[in-house]
A and B are shown apart, each in its own frame.
Chain A
């Protein structure tokens, strides 16, 4: 049995190390695009297409230029993104919390229908309402405006918000409203005084998920906007020309892509526990 092992093979046989190595491989694969973007974004125009992973010449120029170039190209779309997504998130979470409360803690005819319809919307291929939505928004003047994007964002984020909030409300103790009612509160007061103050953690989880969903949208953004007055950052990337006409804008494009990825990365780092809990709450606790 005395097989002589070098330290290396012994290490490789330790399951701990083996699984850690596997983790590293997966993470490297998952994050390769991000790393590549970051690398491209700090290369100089001369070296941007040299196919080297590590930049040979380092520069912050690309970042400086996307913020100083014609503001219609990136700065304004970035502000549009932030504004539209924050408004959509706030609206969707409040409306979703109300509906989620009704579904989770009230009994009424049609409750199951509500759950079924939300599931249907969550599964709905968004591409198939794009044409009529485009046409309707053109007619009533919502096309290429903030509300024109907020409306579909809220609609398609609602199932997510409703499920997250319903799962959250379900795990609150069942006697909360009853106790409030004993003290003479009406159902409305019981909701306002006993439930709403406790809803903050659930609303935060829902808000994070809705924010990510809206921030990443591309289909509505390119279909329902046409100028910088409402075009969002991810749509603007698709039309990115760069400040210099005859120059490969790859560096600036990557810088812009990194900028719109940063909030998402920060969110994930700060809230990963909450995100996973929110993503699984519907399925596990449901």
Chain B
């Protein structure tokens, strides 16, 4: 089962301000308006700086690199050459990309469906359980969620490897509760996004054997193109696709 939860269920509704939000303090009184007007931005500035450095600039570099011939030679100082849309052309005409994309989508849909069905079942189970077992269940699930993926995946790797037969895919059905639909929709959407960016699980299990090419999803594909093969231009283009 994929543990997609490095990012906890947020926040989709944060966007709608709650009805009882305290009255904003930044607006009152003419005196000292300049100070008050600046305060939110001063408070936001450090966050913004970090994001620009770790995300904004790399994304910009990424966009530039996707139009350049940028490989290992450029890593060692050779100036990159502008190649226009060559990288995109190379990627889009490579049937392997479409294999990876199709596999990502299928993987994502299957995992989303399974996660949601099992998630609903567990939620029902939690509401029905007596107090003490429910606490145990909650702690057990939290440990499973929070545990370093690498540690648990190491075990899965061996399980697959030695064919202990970790096949326990239970089939759950008949849980379409119309009341839950809006929640399911939001959770489903978030889940789709999370599953599309899955990396650790795939990357580690690929080491269990089998052919990497047959199991790459978008995340691992970009990684192997860029850092694995030094084809930064191509990897950049793949991220923007």
Interface residues of A (CB under 8 A from B): 15-16, 19-20, 22-24, 26-27, 29-34, 36-37, 40, 49, 51, 91, 95-96, 98-99, 101-102, 104-108, 111-112, 114-117, 119, 121-136, 138, 151-152, 154-156, 158-160, 162-163, 166-167, 170, 172-175, 177-178, 181, 186-188, 190-191, 209, 212-213, 215-219, 223, 234, 237-238, 250, 253-254, 257-258, 260-261, 264-265, 267-269, 272, 275-276, 278-280, 282-283, 285-286
Contact = CB atoms under 8 A, between A and B. Distances in A.
Contact of A216 (B125, B139, B149): B149
A106 B40 contact: yes
Given A98-B47, A127-B197, A130-B222, A105 B140 contact: no
Contacts of A128: 62, 222, 238-240
B222 A234 contact: no
Given A133-B54, A155-B54, A253-B154, A280 B9 contact: yes
A234 B148 contact: yes
A212 B141 contact: no
A132 B39 contact: no
Given A129-B62, A135-B61, A155-B55, A264 B148 contact: yes
Contacts, number: 315
B140 A135 contact: no
Contact of B222 (A131, A215, A261): A131
Contact of A162 (B22, B47, B136): B47
A250 B134 contact: no
Interface string B21-45: 1111111100010011101110110
Contacts of B232: 131-132, 135
Contact of B15 (A115, A167, A280): A115
B112 to A, nearest CB: 14
